[in-house]
Amino acid sequence: MGPLLEMRGITKRFPGVVALEEVDFELEKGEVHVLLGENGAGKSTLVKMLSGAYRPDEGEILLDGEPASISSATDAQELGISTIYQEFNLVPQLTVAENIFLGRQPRRFGIVNRRKMREEARKLLERMKVRVDPEALISDLGVAQRQMVEIAKALSLNARILIMDEPTASLSGQEVKRLFEIVRGLKQEEVAMIFISHHLEEVAEIGDRVTVLRDGKVVDRVPASTEHSELVRMMVGRSVEAQFPRRRPEIGEILLEVKNLSREGVLEDVSFSLCAGEVVGIAGIVGAGRTELARAIFGADPVDSGEVWVEERRMERGDPREAKRRGMGLVTEDRQGQGIVPPLSVAENLGLASLERNTSAGLVNRREQRKQAEKIIEDLNIRTPGPDQEIRYLSGGNQQKVVIGKWLLADSRVLIMDEPTRGIDVGAKVEIYELMNELTENGAGILMISSDLPEVLGMSDRILVMSGGRITGELSAEEANGENVMELATRGSEAAVE
């Protein structure tokens, strides 16, 4: 018997880019097949052929040995293919239950049977052991919970093929474990899964086979137990040395002081300081209040009490404009929502945070802006046909690189980075770490929020751990390890998706 799914000779071109070139791929029943590749390698494009978002220019797709034509989301659904996208696909204004059953609510006498819908949703969420209220609004949920709702929605469609495009990118340790339990359960039910991730340690843990893509072509198909270093070499075409190349410069004067910052139900009496030359990591589980802290410091959210001081002067108004003027930068966690302006070009997006510097007498110096953009595109290896490409056509990871690049160009002295390497491939991560080294060597201070524990441990000089809106402990780079960070991260709260 042949495989459940076979893709043969798939080619897809976009203006200026060959996203996929004669790609072969196969998937067996009950298999977890991992797709690996650098940012822009073509992973999302390949799975979009299965969800009906794109059609191949050449090649064919076989399901159970029969040619399949998938030209819409409905086609995919009818064939039993469900996708959890890299970008969330939920409607924020609707409830969890409404989102799960969007467009196909259980009806009675033509009227949506809300009670039945709620019940069904509750059952699904219970099957996944997720404690999310079916009546909660999506807009009130955190990223991890939204992810779980996406999966519940896919399950409710009784998918035989489940596609997950970077499902673990926004999850921390506990939630990843939970997700993998769900995946193992689905394997038992013979559901086949395509799994995309930039976390190599997940490959062997959850995968059976791996297909590696580079520049739109298949490099090889190997067992998931293949050595990391070998997988990396296949992805980037060379070996990548130092995973966390942190160099510790001299510590200078205090750049940022946060004094007793509080906001009811969100932040509780948070105080700490950040010096020139330092990378201070903020660890914690999803929902600990880390993003809220970053936003409060930057003046994006109001606080009830407390003060923020930058270079020995108090922030007076506490709004993002003042923050920027005072040399602060914020790389946001949610790149789709806050990080980028989709209809603008790569160069324009890169120039957004340094606009003032490149403007004189009301005129933007386009040449200068372009020159700087070209440098960042090269430094961060941003995959784009050119600086004038609209950013929305870039792959997820390359959009993230633009968000980081924008703040690198702004010459911020205090840089707050919220999950800076989320969705970034292994090679590019090291480039970003190198840039963090350079920035701190030049006297900047970096506050790095990250759910990636090895990254926090590997790149921070000091680690603050948050739980329930409070700082539960501070550890030096020398004393910190996985255990003591997790212990502080779960102190006084339940470590679960709730």
Chain residues in the site for ligand ATP (CB under 6 A): 14, 17, 19, 37, 39-45, 86, 383, 393-398, 425
326 binds, among ligand ATP, Mg ion, none (CB under 5 to 8 A by kind): none
Per-residue x/- mask for Mg ion, residues 67 to 106, rule CB under 5 A? -------------------x--------------------
Residues 6+ away with beta carbon under 8 Å from 244 = 433, 454, 455, 458, 459
Binding partner selected for residue 51 from ligand ATP, Mg ion, none, CB under the kind-specific 5 to 8 Å limit:
none
Least CB distance to ligand ATP at residue 44 (A): 3
Q: Which is nearer to ligand ATP, 46 or 141 (CB)?
A: 46
**Which residue, 37 or 318, has its beta carbon nearer to ligand ATP?**
37
Shortest Å, Cβ 222 to ligand ATP:
18
Pick between residue 19 and residue 179 the one whose CB is nearest to ligand ATP.
19
Residue 76 CB, shortest distance to ligand ATP, in Å, is: 17
Q: How far is the CB of 20 from ligand ATP (least distance, A)?
A: 8
17 binding partner (options Mg ion, ligand ATP, none; Cβ < 5 to 8 Å by kind) = ligand ATP
| Radius of gyration of the chain, Cα coordinates, nearest whole angstrom | 23
Closest approach of Cβ 399 to ligand ATP, in Å?
8
Which does residue 39 touch among ligand ATP, Mg ion, none (CB within 5 to 8 A, set by kind)?
ligand ATP
Taking the C-alpha atoms of residue 272 and residue 198, their distance in angstroms, rounded to an integer, is 32
- C-beta of 198 vs 324, nearer to Mg ion: 198
Tell me the residue nearest to Mg ion as measured from the CB: 44
**Residues numbered 5-64 forming contacts with Mg ion, rule: CB under 5 A:** 44
Quote the least distance from Cβ 79 to Mg ion, whole Å: 22
Residue 461 interacts with, from Mg ion, ligand ATP, none (CB under 5-8 Å by kind): none
Contact in structure between 447 and 280 (CB atoms under 8 Å): yes
- 87 vs 269, which CB is nearer to ligand ATP? 87
**What is the nearest approach in angstroms of ligand ATP to the Cβ of residue 14?**
3
- Hey, how many other C-beta atoms are within 10 angstroms of the C-beta on 109? 5
Contacts of 445 (CB under 8 A, 6+ apart): 255, 256, 274, 275, 276, 277, 278, 279, 280, 413, 414, 415
Provide, rounded to whole angstroms, the least separation between the CB of residue 40 and Mg ion. 8
Among Mg ion, ligand ATP, none, the one that 180 touches (CB under a kind-dependent 5 to 8 A) is none
42 binds, among Mg ion, ligand ATP, none (CB under 5 to 8 A by kind): ligand ATP
Binding pattern for the stretch 181-220 against Mg ion, x by CB under 5 A and - elsewhere: ----------------------------------------
372 forms part of the interface with Mg ion (CB under 5 A): no
Q: In the complex with Mg ion, which residue's Cβ is closer, 151 or 285?
A: 151
**Residues facing 256 on adjacent strands:** 274, 310
371 is written with which tokens? 């020159």
Instruction: Point out which residues pair with 60 in neighbouring strands.
Output: 8
Binder of residue 383, out of Mg ion, ligand ATP, none (CB less than 5 to 8 A by kind):
ligand ATP
Return the residues of window 392-421 that contact Mg ion according to CB under 5 A. Answer: 395-396
CA distance 400 to 380: 10
Min CB(399)–Mg ion separation in Å: 10
By C-beta, is 35 or 179 nearer to ligand ATP? 35
- In the complex, the residues that contact Mg ion under the rule CB under 5 A are 44, 86, 395-396
